[in-house]
Amino acid sequence: MLSPQTSPHGQVLSLREPSAVESNWRLTVSVLAFSWIATIALFWDTVVSIVSVWSHSKTHEHGFLVLPIFFYLIWRARGQVRSLQPHPNYWGLVLLLAVSVAWFLGRLVNIGVVQQFAMVAMLTGLAWVVLGTEITRALLFPLLSLFLGVPVGEEIVPVLQDYTAWFVVKALQVSGVPVFWEGHLLTIPSGTWEVHESCSGIRYIVASLTFGYLYAGLTYRRWSRRTVFFVASAIVPIIANGLRAYGIVMLAHFSSNSIAVGVDHFIYGWLFFGFVIVLLTLVGERWREKPWHPEPMSVRISLAERPGSTDSGVTVVFAAFIGLVILATAPLSVAAIQGRSSPPAVIRPIDLFVAPPWEVTKTQVSAWHPQFMGASAEQLRHYKSGAHTVDVYVAYYDHEQNGGELINFQNDVVDRKRWTPLRVSTRRVFVDGVPLNVKEVTARSRVRNQVTWSWYWIDGRFTASPYYAKLLQLQAKVFRGQAGGAAIVLAASYRDDESGAIRALSDFLEHWEEVGGTLSRFRRPE
């Protein structure tokens, strides 16, 4: 037994042998590690989807650094948690139930980012259940760093492109440079510029957020300051990317396109980004806080050795077991619903019912083909009525899978390698006598312009909203065991005035009979 010791202030610092504390910690850490490994095994497909994006996306290559950063932050916080004792907290089970439901819903309708966020949140929830609130609060910064590995952000690339184009146009106008603006195309006297996806700044933003989170956690102790710096790490790169794009256009303009083009374009961009990060860091240093210093060992023993401060191993194991049972219900429920799926079917296109004067023609006016990945069946037909021509594309999805979803941000009504979108809006039309707001996209290729109308058909209903479409898929999956649907795209070309293309699309839609009935006949039982 350790003999009682006193501090300089006369306080008793040790009441029991530290072996009990150390044994309790070893058991708790072992149980948590096993729980995490079991969770990773249960949701292995989700883990693989995360790592796959890290491997194939330059935007998310930083994901491979997330685990080393996490372990470093845990090691750095060891002194802070050493004075604490784990106490299982069953309120964490509520969080586990919520994220299990989120993963379940995301899996049913194939929303990868929801599954990925939910899976990472499960690890945090298990830490809360096994370690308790006090230790989880002390380790919250390292635990939240795991979310940096979730590959999210590419979905907002079109929004960032729109902002960058708007920023450059406004800056050029202020600078007195005349500019003609069409969507992502900017024409100035020295040439035409396109705000490409790589110009959206998403890579800068993701890199800045990762750096900002790590810097804020290492520099500040108060969460208010950490949050402000992290938010600034997102806002500053967005503004800076607009300035970068404007600077590139101006450098090329005044140098007769001899500077800031080609390789110079990318070198200048990353140098500018480095300057922004340095500037952001220098500003953040003004509010640096002193790092947390662990208490002397004697005080830590006093805090750790309080009578009744440890829980039995049975309590820790039981808490982890209940947590894993809750998590396991999600994949088991998905398997049960998939077991009720509709029987195998033959998916094949069928002819559309289009009334005269419209008739099918084998001649395609333009080299156009939408990009919908993994469709169960595709159909592209060309119709003509007098001088009007319309292309009709239908992509039917029966049973979706990763990489083959009806609603996916990578699906597009045009091939971006050949077409440049100029404008995206909505238009009120009638489909099968029902009013519907369809998505209208005006795009340009090297030889012609084109207007497309697109919408979804799911569970017998029409919508152009991807969010409502996901809800319809979820409803069909839960209540009928399948979520088959289709994407419908109409396209009409024009040379100078798009009003002619819009008239052609409107007239064709008026003569297209039984749209929903036609789509329902794509799927035939074997």
Q: Beta 180-182 vs 185-188: how paired, if at all?
A: antiparallel
Burial class (CB in 10 A: 0-12, 13-18, 19+), 484: buried
| Residue type present at position 513 | E
CA 272, CA 265: separation in Å to the nearest integer?
11
Q: Identify the H or E element spanning 302.
A: helix 297-304
Q: What is the pLDDT of residue 342?
A: 58
Q: State the virtual CA torsion across 466, 163, 448, 370 in degrees, nearest 10.
A: -30
CA 84, CA 66: separation in Å to the nearest integer?
26
SS3 state at 458: strand
| Residue type present at position 1 | M
Q: What is the pLDDT of residue 344?
A: 54
Q: What is the pLDDT of residue 195?
A: 85
Q: What is the pLDDT of residue 289?
A: 80
CA 326, CA 93: separation in Å to the nearest integer?
8
Q: What is the pLDDT of residue 271?
A: 78
DSSP letters along 462-519, please? Answer: EES-HHHHHHHHHHHHHHHS---EEEEEEEEEESS-THHHHHHHHHHHHHEE-HHHHH
Q: Tokens 């003509």 — which residue?
A: 384
First to last CA, the chain: 78
Q: What is the pLDDT of residue 298?
A: 39
Across 157-200, where does the E strand assignment appear?
A: 180-182, 185-188, 191-194
Q: Are 245 and 164 in contact (CB under 8 A)?
A: yes
Q: What is the pLDDT of residue 15?
A: 45
Across 374-448, where does the E strand assignment appear?
A: 377-385, 388-397, 420-431, 434-444
Burial class (CB in 10 A: 0-12, 13-18, 19+), 296: exposed
Q: Are 110 and 46 in contact (CB under 8 A)?
A: no
Consecutive 10-residue averages of pLDDT for the chain (526 residues): 46 49 81 95 94 90 92 88 86 95 90 93 96 92 94 87 92 92 86 83 89 92 91 91 88 73 59 84 85 48 42 83 95 81 62 86 76 86 89 85 79 85 90 91 87 92 91 81 81 87 92 82 62
For residue 12, give every residue at least 6 positions away whose Cβ sits within 8 Å of its Cβ, in sequence order, or none.
Answer: 4, 5, 6, 302
Q: Are 368 and 419 in contact (CB under 8 A)?
A: yes
Cβ–Cβ contacts within 10 Å for residue 258, how many?
Answer: 10
Nearest Cα neighbor of 512 from 453, 466, 458 is 453
Tokens of 466: 């991807």
DSSP letters along 206-255, please? Answer: HHHHHHHHHHHHHH-SSHHHHHHHHHHHHHHHHHHHHHHHHHHHHHHHHT
Nearest Cα neighbor of 486 from 383, 370, 359 is 370
Q: What is the pLDDT of residue 296?
A: 44
Tell me the helices (H) and strands (E) count for the chain, helix number first: 17, 15
| Residue type present at position 319 | A
SS3 state at 310: coil
| Residue type present at position 219 | T
Model confidence, pTM = 0.80
Q: Tokens 């009525």 — which residue?
A: 385
Question: What is the DSSP code (8-state) at residue 390?
Answer: E
Q: What is the pLDDT of residue 22?
A: 73
